[in-house]
Amino acid sequence: MHACSIRDLKKEYVLKSETVRALRGVSFDVPEGDYVAIMGPSGSGKSTLLNLLGCLDQPTDGELLLGEDNVATMSDDQLAEIRSRRIGFVFQSYNLIQQLTVTENIQVPLYYQGRLGAAERRRCVELAERVGLADRLDHRPAQLSGGQQQRVAIARSLVNDPYFILADEATGNLDSKTTAEILSLFDQLNNEGRTIIMVTHEDEVAERAKRVVRLRDGLLQSDKLNAEQDRQAAAARALELVPQDAAE
């Protein structure tokens, strides 16, 4: 089964009476358990595709299947439901609520769905522990490092057992050491069967994915597999870049 399938996806905008063809017919599948990096220069359609994959916008034409459901034809209310239950978001800027603790931030998607019983609260604590924050459960974002905040965001993205994690420049605000830690966490999650779709402009980040999909001028330029030995070499290089005295 595919976590999502993109079929001849098109998106047009009208700006100052001029039609901008942001996506001009993009097609590819993301099987369950895949790890895909989406790349492309400014104006390639990368951000547009991200918004469509996140059900934040609707295509002008084509199909976008999450599982067996075509979300391209859904209403705003239906898209909101899909976002909250089937997609786990990880943003460059973390998007945490400053007044809430680590555990409470992880609980937010469940709170909005009215699904926050004792079992769900335990799961949120387990997810915090899973991403290495067992000793930070009652801390608020201002008391955490950037890497710790991103770990909270990753735990939050997992709370609904989503079809896939959609990561937008997830390491863009992090130093080399913390980037290596977060990418290692993504590797672990993917090895456990989690599907990850990551938008990035950094080659060293894309090298960690199983596939790299490149867009250009609203079209699919290439879709290539990363050899496993190349992925492992990229992970080793990332660790070499981390200063030895930076290890905690």
What's the rounded mean pLDDT across residues 4-14? 95
Nearest partner of 86 among 95, 74, 96, 104, judged by Cα: 74
Question: Quick count: other Cβ atoms within 10 Å of Cβ 188?
Answer: 12
* Residue numbers of the domain that contains 173: 2-50+81-246
Is 86 inside any structural domain?
yes
pLDDT at 245 over 90: no
C-beta separation of 131 from 151 below 8 A: yes
Percentage of the chain exceeding pLDDT 70:
97
Tokens of 14: 């009208």
Is 67 inside any structural domain?
no
Query: What digits encode the pLDDT tens for the residues 34-51?
Result: 999 999 999 999 999 999
Is 62 inside any structural domain?
no
Is 231 inside any structural domain?
yes
Is 232 inside any structural domain?
yes
Is 59 inside any structural domain?
no
pLDDT band at 6 (very low <50, low <70, confident <90, very high): very high
Give the model's pLDDT for residue 35: 98
DSSP for 23-85 reads EEEEEEEEETT-EEEEE--TTSSHHHHHHHHTTSS--SEEEEEETTEEGGG--HHHHHHHHHH
**What is the domain count for the chain?**
1
In the block, residue with structure tokens 């069967």? 193
Host H or E run for residue 225:
strand 219-225
Which amino acid type is present at position 97?
I
What's the rounded mean pLDDT across residues 9-28? 93
Host H or E run for residue 6:
strand 2-15
What's the rounded mean pLDDT across residues 150-174? 95
What's the rounded mean pLDDT across residues 79-106? 94
Q: 17 by DSSP, 3-state: which? A: coil
According to DSSP, the residues that pair with 216 across neighbouring strands are 219
Q: What is the DSSP letter of 43?
A: T
Nearest partner of 248 among 153, 191, 180, judged by Cα: 180
pTM of the model: 0.93
Using alpha carbons, list the distances in angstroms from residue 11 to 81, 89, 167.
22, 22, 21
Is 127 inside any structural domain?
yes
Residue 26 sits at the vertex; the CA angle it makes with 157 and 93, to the nearest 5 degrees, is 30
Is 65 inside any structural domain?
no
What's the rounded mean pLDDT across residues 60-73? 94
Which amino acid type is present at position 161?
D
Tokens of 68: 């067996």
Query: What's the CATH number where 113 sits?
Result: 3.40.50.300
Rounded to whole angstroms, how far apart are CA atoms 62 and 204?
Answer: 32
Q: What is the mean pLDDT of the chain?
A: 93
pLDDT at 28 over 70: yes
Give the model's pLDDT for residue 113: 85
